[in-house]
Amino acid sequence: MQRRPLGILALGLILFLFSLPPPAFILSSAVAEPADADAAPPAIYPVGSEPQPEPSPVRWEDTTAILGSVRLDSVTKTVTATGWVNQTEGAIEVLACGTGGKVHESVFVLALNPLDLQAAFLLAGLKGGEPMSEIGQGPPNGAPVDILVEWKDGDETQTARAETFVWNIEDNVVLPETPWTFTGSVVKDGQFKALAEESLVVTYWDPYAIVNLPLPCGANDEILHVNTNTVPPYHTPVTFRFVPATRTPFAADFNGIQTALEAAVGGHWKIQRHDQWNFLSPDVLPPGLQQGTFSVFVSTTNQSSLSQAETWMETCQAPFFILGTNRDCVAVTYVPRKHPVSQALIKALQLAEPAEGSPAEKAGLRGEEK
């Protein structure tokens, strides 16, 4: 009974407070400012014409250009970026991605703006090639670059080529030494694709990546894994050095080989691309050859060429033999070695006959009986 007057008093106090004008600080925050009649309307861009991000401004320290976290030595043309070990086992399609890239299948992560990396390559004078039509379709074209990876093992600095961190489970070997290919990424649907996907250096051919592996195994997304024998521990800091190469990956120059064969041997040579092999063979026979064929398998080393040739010969189950090899090619045929067309091909590609104990013989490929 004694609480009733207190309740009435509280109700009266609440009504009194609501009857007062609001404090100034409430008015200042609650009352909206009138719209500026002269303010420009928001810009609306058609699809595909939106403004794109730009690379970081270039700063110079002596002869070094700095673009964000990417550095370019203007004297040696070496591009440097830093990151860490991201994956120490399992299948991969990417050697190095950005922090928002395919981290589930990338050996390394590099902490950088992809625009800065591509801009640094261009400032170094490197040029990308004709873009590949789609993922897995190649080979890639562009300027060759060697990739060196540095890291600390205790107090010692270790350096290894990028290829040494990739294992080919089909051939059961580490990737052979090769320069990589600066293809450059592309703009599509209004997006710089390397920025959208952050695939920086890839082992599975990708037209959206900045750097591609030139070897034929780059067409297969199932056979490349992390080389557990060489990769540093997880999260080890690394430095990538991209150095312009003085040699071109032979596998990327199919058109040059085709031109040389047609000029020296004759006929028309067609480039054949498949998942397991890449080779050239005549679809119009050279003059003087009534029947028979040649297949010239191309890679960066004889080992890769021989592996392709061996698989192909097993599939064909025909009496082929190795006509000759060089550092980059294996030529296979059943046209006699002494035939003028065979001799012209040997001369055009400077092929050597497989010697006893050579990789060709060890691969189990048949030699021609003299």
pLDDT the model gives residue 309 = 82
**C-beta neighbour count of 238 within 10 angstroms:** 22
Whether the per-residue pLDDT at 15 is higher than 80: the answer is no
Residues 114 and 218 in one domain: yes
Residues 62 and 188 in one domain: yes
Domain-embedded: residue 214: yes
Instruction: Give, as one character, the DSSP assignment of residue 360.
Output: H
Instruction: Give, as one character, the DSSP assignment of residue 88.
Output: S
Tokens of 129: 């090639």
| Structure-model confidence comparison of residues 233 and 308, the more confident one | 233
Whether the per-residue pLDDT at 69 is higher than 90: the answer is yes
pLDDT the model gives residue 259 = 80
Instruction: Give, as one character, the DSSP assignment of residue 178.
Output: -
Name the band, by pLDDT with cuts 50, 70 and 90, for residue 254.
confident
For 199-212, what is the mean pLDDT?
Answer: 95
Most confident of 85-99, 206-220, 279-293: 85-99
H helical segments located in 57-155: 114-123
Q: Which residues contact 63 (CB under 8 A, 6 or more apart)?
A: 73, 74, 75
In Å, how far are 45, 147, 192, 198 from 51, measured between CA atoms?
Answer: 8, 33, 11, 19
In Å, how far are 220, 223, 231, 357 from 227, measured between CA atoms?
Answer: 17, 12, 6, 28
| Structure-model confidence comparison of residues 294 and 247, the more confident one | 294
DSSP three-state, residue 296: strand
Residues 231 and 311 in one domain: no
Domain-embedded: residue 40: no
pLDDT the model gives residue 313 = 81
Domain-embedded: residue 149: yes
301-355 pLDDT, tens digit each: 334 677 788 878 878 767 788 888 776 788 898 898 899 999 999 888 878 777 6
**C-beta neighbour count of 273 within 10 angstroms:** 13
CB 366 within 8 Å of CB 341:
no
84-98 pLDDT, tens digit each: 999 999 999 999 999
**Which domain covers residue 142, as residue numbers?**
58-248
Residues 218 and 316 in one domain: no
Q: Are strands 211-212 and 199-202 parallel, antiparallel or unpaired?
A: parallel
Secondary structure (DSSP) of 274-287: -SS-EEEEEEEPPT
Residues 218 and 88 in one domain: yes
pLDDT the model gives residue 249 = 46
Instruction: Give, as one character, the DSSP assignment of residue 37.
Output: T
Number of domains in the chain: 2
pLDDT the model gives residue 10 = 40
Which residues face 94 on adjacent strands? 106, 202
State phi, psi for 331 to the nearest 5 degrees: -105, 125
Residues 208 and 224 in one domain: yes
Residues 66 and 212 in one domain: yes
Indicate the residue among 248, 283, 311 that finishes a domain.
248
